Amino acid sequence: MATLTRRVAILVFISLASATIVIRPPAPDVNSCPGYKATYIEETSSGLTAELQLAGTACNIYGRDLATLKLQATYDSKSRIHVKITDTEEKRYQIPEEAFPRPHSEATGSAKSSDITFTYTTFPFGFTITRRSTGEKLFDTTGDTLVFESQYLRLKTSLPTDPNIYGLGEHTDSFRLPNVNHTRTLWSRDSYGIPQKSNLYGNHPIYLDHRESGTHGVLLLNSNGMDIKLKTVNGQSSLEYNVIGGILDLYFFAGPEPVAVAKQYAEVAGLPTMMPYWGLGFHQCRYGYRDWIDLAEVIANHSIAEIPLETMWTDIDYMYNRWVFTLDPERFPLDKVREIIDYLHEHGQHYIAMVDPAIAYQDYPTFNRGKQDGIFLKEADGSIHKGVVWPGVTAFPDWFHPNTSPFWVGEFVEFFSADAGVDIDGVWIDMNEPASFCNYPCNDPEADAIEQKMPPQRLPVRGPPRIIPGFPGTGKPTASVHSAERRVRKRQKGGSIDLISPLYAITNDAPLGLSDRTAHTDIVHYGGLSEYDTHNLYGAMMSYTTYEAMLARRPGLRPLIITRSTFAGAGKRVGKWLGDNMSQWDQYRWSISGMLGFASIYQMPMVGSDVCGFGGNTTETLCARWASLGAFNPFFRNHNGDTSIPQEFYRWPLVASSARKSIDIRYRLLDYIYTAMYHQSIDGTPLLNPLFFKYPKDTNTYSIDAQFIYGNALLVSPVIKENSTSVEVYLPKDTLYDFHTGKKIKGGGMNMTLTNIPFDEIPLHIIGGNILPFRSSSAYTTTELRTRPFTIVIALDECGEASGSLYIDDGVSIQQEAVIDVMMEYKSGKLSIKGKFGFKGEKDGVSVKIEAVKVLGKKRKDGRSGGEEEEEVFEKKVDVELVGNVEIKV
């Protein structure tokens, strides 16, 4: 019954809302719109401005056509053009600077010298971006009219036939996007199961268009809901933006190599934040850890199974009734939680807990303070907007409100106090689309919460069933809800548009429209911003505010924050996990494509999937394979749902073995990937590479997304078929070495079937021409790992040369006093290491010593067969401290 009443209410609401705009013709065709004519064109050395006038009778299909527009095209630099089309007064919504700080436009480029050029036609107005060196049209809107209406923007570019387009995430589709009839919808959504062809948690309106002649990138800086349509009709391919608000704000990146595009995008979106070294360790989590006893058991059981556990996590289970900034006094009493965290810290391990944005609508300190500070999203009548999330009825913080940051910082500092609270090392932010379980219009959230059984029932309180190794004593739970009391601060106050059901309906996968299962789009945030316009920024804004809060707790130290919802540029503050996937083989396989999007295109390199799968039950073989693939995700965490079977790696011998072996490799290579992450954080060079980033001319690589390159030099080729022990892989035309044996692989430029791959191993190849710094042996924690000396592995190319780099710092500080930042080169039998040698390891027991050098593919004279050369793995023991430039003969 309740459902029925809700449905009726929606229908009435929608029809009322629609009636206020225009009467829609049966099959609106935006191609019949009049387009624009360019006038008052003013050219300057760094670009041009013009006025665009509607060139005929308004078509008013999805709103009102704007009569005049302003066009600005700017040669920002040699490799970047900025094209902005707005209303003449610039009154329309544009993404606020705080959500996406714009690059300083020094306009150093010019029409004469830029790598790409902007040209236009005056009537009908259209423009073209052309690569100067080849004369090729990269983006060309001249064939289709521009439509710019109050709630609808249409811009369409023609593309080469069967184009190689990547990006436009977040998605779980193939990395090279389908282009015949494919729609990418950008609208943040709690997307359990992360289905393909649907809008997921976050939004990155950037794409790479890769051609044999060069790669370029296009960013549409717009946070409104949109459908981006990739089509091929009669052999003609195109990309069409259909956006329900904001402006057309486009950045074009010239490339011409894929990596160059990644770096140029980073100049606009921002460079990714550097994570702490320990963040690259192995993380264990699950939803459904019943109590503190479970945590202690899991920590102890990893230790017994000798599976390195760097960080123990807790989902919302620790909270009292799922209220954020509280502890369940019986299942997670403060003294026990502190004891566990102390144990972890004493053993060089870490602890991370979850925080959701939705705050329980209950009489408790956090909610009361938020209400007092006026930080919650409000309805038009001033009442607090209610949703239904894990705690039941909730309120959502308005991240644009000036009081929200002090409020959030205050909650973090108090609740996560090192001295008296839950001393977390990092934080995990979830449900920040923002997700609500309430179906639109959510007229009775209280009833809905009861119907949906929120908060969920918990298992009864219990005592420890046994003495857990490392955790002596059982202790009685403390009684009161731990929630910090804090001083109450003063409260501050801060047309004809359909914010609920715009006429152009994007392909949102939530059934009841834009406002379904999230904050309602007609809500007005602080400063007059509507949820309609800023919905896609909610998770990113929460990320930025949480970064401030974490920094306030531990000033000067790099925050480790993992979020679910993101927007372009969020990587400058946070990392990302790929959301609530399923324990299925296809999800394991598509996790690679998801990871590549974030790491190599969206500039969010701290990324990884829920290893072994989140929803449903994993199997031994799937979990074993996923453990080894997960070891090559920058962010490596095992996590699953509360109704799934337990899947800690130690639960099956095969999985435990896979985890031990792959963590061993990951850890020995931790400084290698840390160095790659550092490079991405200073210039955007991706830490992970799809094959075509390295082999842009090799057309065989363009659609490969079940293999990838970890860092610059390690080709990872997981087995992807269920229960299979073989895999067909592509080996590029290059010098490759088997990771385990160091043997050179012949062939290249073709597929090869690798067979007999045990479930606890993953095929790895080192690409010749690279030098990789290995720690000589692995360890249980990353702190211990850093005490191990280095073995430098030199994988020679066909000329007998190789190069690489190594970056070492204290692992945690934002500002580093002294670092080791060196280039390594091997030529004519000599390894030379040059650069900065400031960091002195001994203070923290960090080894900066090289104890061995290995050369793969070294040729030597073979005495017996008279001058024949043969290849081998050559190892030399050395004793070199990294204190200054050095040359080693090998």
Please report how close the Cβ of residue 431 comes to ligand NAG at its closest, in angstroms: 18
Task: Tell which residue, 813, 874, 880, 812, has the closest CA to residue 851.
Answer: 880
Give the whole-angstrom CA distance, residue 93 versus residue 638.
Answer: 40
Give the whole-angstrom CA distance, residue 115 versus residue 117.
Answer: 7
- Going from the C-alpha of 508 to that of each of 12, 179, 241, 516, the distances in angstroms are 20, 19, 15, 10
The pair of structure tokens assigned to 9 is: 């209410």
Q: Which is nearer to ligand NAG, 722 or 851 (CB)?
A: 722
Residue with tokens 């309609």: 532
Please report how close the Cβ of residue 324 comes to ligand NAG at its closest, in angstroms: 25
Q: Is 212 an active-site residue?
A: no
Helices (H) and strands (E) in the chain, counts: 15, 44
- Could you give the residue ranges of the DSSP H alpha helices within 53-116? none
Give the whole-angstrom CA distance, residue 374 versus residue 352.
Answer: 29
Please report how close the Cβ of residue 201 comes to ligand NAG at its closest, in angstroms: 13
CA angle 562, 567, 572 (to 5 degrees): 60
Task: Tell which residue, 191, 188, 173, has the closest CA to residue 230.
Answer: 173
At how many degrees (to 10) do helices 334-346 and 292-305 cross? 20
Which region, left, alpha or beta, applies to residue 397 given φ > 0 means left and ψ of -120 to 50 means alpha?
beta
Please report how close the Cβ of residue 298 comes to ligand NAG at its closest, in angstroms: 5
How many residues are recorded in the chain? 890
In contact, 269 and 531? CB cutoff 8 Å: no
CA angle 614, 617, 619 (to 5 degrees): 110
- E strands present in 359-497: 359-360, 386-389, 392-395, 426-429
Catalytic residue of the set 580, 648, 671, 705:
580
Amino acid in the structure at residue 710:
Y
Pairing of strands 714-716, 764-767: antiparallel
The pair of structure tokens assigned to 694 is: 């390295």
User: Counting Cβ atoms within 10 Å, is residue 346 exposed (0-12), middle (13-18) or buried (19+)?
Assistant: exposed
Pairing of strands 561-563, 426-429: parallel
Please report how close the Cβ of residue 651 comes to ligand NAG at its closest, in angstroms: 7
Number of other CB atoms surrounding residue 750 within 10 Å: 10
Task: Tell which residue, 501, 618, 506, 29, has the closest CA to residue 222.
Answer: 506
3-state secondary structure of 367: helix
Residue with tokens 């359909």: 498
The binding site for ligand NAG (CB under 6 A) comprises 172, 181, 193-196, 294, 297-298, 301, 582, 586-587, 590, 616-617, 619-621, 645, 648, 700, 722-723, 728, 730, 750-751
- Going from the C-alpha of 99 to that of each of 87, 204, 530, 816, the distances in angstroms are 21, 13, 14, 27
- Helix (H) / strand (E) element for 337: namely helix 334-346
Task: Tell which residue, 208, 193, 222, has the closest CA to residue 578.
Answer: 193
Give the whole-angstrom CA distance, residue 885 versus residue 834.
Answer: 5
Give the whole-angstrom CA distance, residue 170 versus residue 567.
Answer: 9
In contact, 541 and 535? CB cutoff 8 Å: no
- Helix (H) / strand (E) element for 588: namely helix 585-596
Task: Tell which residue, 231, 56, 261, 25, has the closest CA to residue 147.
Answer: 56
Please report how close the Cβ of residue 339 comes to ligand NAG at its closest, in angstroms: 17
The pair of structure tokens assigned to 820 is: 């080791």
Give the whole-angstrom CA distance, residue 273 versus residue 607.
Answer: 12
Residue with tokens 């954080």: 681
Catalytic residue of the set 115, 411, 414, 433:
433
Q: Is 291 an active-site residue?
A: no
Q: Is 227 an active-site residue?
A: no
Give the whole-angstrom CA distance, residue 97 versus residue 101.
Answer: 4
Number of other CB atoms surrounding residue 31 within 10 Å: 12
Please report how close the Cβ of residue 619 comes to ligand NAG at its closest, in angstroms: 4
- Helix (H) / strand (E) element for 608: namely strand 607-608
Query: What is the set of active-site residues?
Result: 430, 433, 580
